[in-house]
């Protein structure tokens, strides 16, 4: 097959590994810099152009769209869908997962376990917003944050109010969430491919840190999931419409709760922690499922 990987940087571990895995299985691979793709959207024959040439018709596209280029990146994926290439994750699903509020609303309406969460832009009654999720301690998150930046644990109502007011002063969208203390500063990354969790790791925050992000000094180990955790991760991926994704769970006293679904999950951490060839599993999924003109949305979303 001819596979295109949409990625800004061919040296990134995940990009390199996907290329290696695909080539090892006999496929031809191009790495395409997403931001350098351009297209004529009025043409009756959809194509994607790159450096003065029309890109070939790929059997499959693996989108690795970073959060900072979601807007342009999803438009490029949409265009590839219109050309009939099988896109591992479709544009609509990527957009859905990029919007934390939209994702949580979608997951909640299907009954997926979530931390009690309130969101607000400019609440007139801050104490009520805090009370609404069960009172302090609460976790306050900047909606646009990544890698744990803008995620604050407020131990008391007073601190919570002060932090919320500070964020409000910045005109930011915020999320106020019940603090899952029993998670013990750890979360679980489930790597979903198709309708299976193919690898899972537990990330533990550094001593005294409630955030488990590896970028913040956390460490990762292989973990065995409970059937409920597996089912929750697969259901969350399915609701988002993502074929390949990372579902982050917290172990709460009432069972697994979903924190986030990531449409471009990194491969380095998960392959190192589990020793599994997750990249090859992504390629196998493509081999089994890639058919031309078989995207669910075909650029319609």
Helix (H, G, I), strand (E, B) or coil at 24: helix
* Rounded least distance, CB 260 to ligand ADP, Å: 5
CB of 194 to ligand ADP, least distance (A): 24
CB of 114 to ligand ADP, least distance (A): 10
State which residue, 37 or 249, has the beta carbon closest to ligand ADP.
249
Taking the complex as a whole, how short is the minimal distance between the CB of residue 226 and ligand ADP, in angstroms? Answer: 18
Q: How far is the CB of 265 from ligand ADP (least distance, A)?
A: 12
Edge to edge, the sheet with strand 196-204 lists 219-222, 196-204, 186-193, 244-252, 255-262
Identify the CA nearest to 34 among candidates 18, 59, 15.
15
Provide the minimum distance between the beta carbon of 70 and ligand ADP in the complex, in angstroms, as a whole number.
14
What are the beta bridge partners of residue 261? 247
By beta-carbon proximity to ligand ADP, the closer residue of 187 and 271 is 187
Q: Which residue number, 210 or 285, has a Cβ lying nearer to ligand ADP?
A: 210
Output the CA angle 88-93-97, nearest 5 degrees. 120
Judged by beta carbon, residue 173 or residue 298, the one nearer ligand ADP is 173
> In the structure encoding, which two tokens stand for residue 92, read together?
């609509």
Nearest to 243 by CA among 234, 251, 252: 234
Minimum Å gap between C-beta 117 and ligand ADP is 8
Query: Which of residues 83 and 263 has its CB atom nearest to ligand ADP in the complex?
Result: 263
Q: Which of these, 36, 67, 81, 42, lies nearest to 294 by C-alpha position?
A: 81
Rounded to whole angstroms, the Cα distance separating 89 from 95 reads 10
Residues interacting with ligand ADP, by CB under 6 A? 115, 139, 141, 145-148, 151, 177-180, 183, 187, 205, 210-213, 248, 250, 259-260
Closer residue to ligand ADP in complex, CB, 118/205: 205
CA separation for the pair 273, 250 (Å, rounded): 18
Task: State which H helix or E strand residue 118 sits in.
Answer: strand 117-120
Report how far apart, in Å, the C-alpha atoms of 53 and of each of 37, 47, 173, 292 are.
10, 10, 41, 22
| Residue whose token pair is 């930046």 | 149
- For ligand ADP, the closer of residues 162 and 206 by Cβ is 206
**For 110-119, b where at least 16 C-beta lie within 10 A, e where not — what string?**
eebbbbebbb
Nearer to ligand ADP, 83 or 177 (CB): 177
Minimum gap (Å) between residue 183 Cβ and ligand ADP: 5
């Amino acid at each position: 097959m001819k596979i295109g990987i949409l990625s800004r940087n061919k040296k990134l571990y995940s990009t390199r590994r996907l290329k290696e895995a695909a080539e090892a299985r006999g496929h031809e691979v191009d790495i395409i810099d997403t931001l350098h793709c351009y297209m004529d959207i009025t043409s009756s024959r959809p194509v994607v152009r790159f450096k003065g040439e029309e890109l070939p018709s790929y059997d499959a596209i693996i989108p690795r769209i970073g959060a900072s280029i979601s807007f342009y990146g999803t438009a490029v994926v949409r265009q590839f869908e219109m050309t009939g290439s099988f896109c591992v994750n479709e544009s609509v699903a990527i957009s859905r997962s990029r919007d934390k509020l939209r994702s949580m609303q979608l997951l909640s309406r299907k009954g997926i376990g979530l931390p009690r969460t309130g969101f607000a832009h400019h609440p007139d009654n801050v104490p009520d917003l805090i009370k609404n999720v069960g009172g302090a301690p609460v976790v306050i998150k900047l909606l646009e944050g990544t890698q744990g930046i803008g995620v604050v644990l407020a131990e008391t109502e007073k601190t919570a109010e002060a932090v919320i007011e500070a964020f409000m002063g910045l005109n930011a969208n915020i999320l106020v969430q019940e603090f899952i203390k029993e998670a013990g500063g750890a979360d679980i990354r489930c790597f979903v491919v198709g309708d299976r969790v193919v690898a899972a790791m537990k990330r533990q925050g550094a001593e005294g840190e409630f955030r488990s992000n590896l970028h913040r000094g956390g460490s990762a180990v292989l973990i065995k999931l409970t059937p409920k955790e597996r089912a929750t991760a697969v259901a969350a991926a399915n609701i988002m419409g993502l074929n390949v994704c990372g579902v982050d769970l917290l172990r709460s006293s009432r069972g697994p709760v979903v924190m986030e679904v990531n449409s471009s999950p990194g491969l380095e951490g998960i392959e190192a922690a589990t020793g599994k060839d997750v990249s090859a599993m992504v390629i196998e999924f493509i081999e089994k499922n890639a058919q031309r003109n078989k995207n669910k949305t075909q650029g319609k979303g």
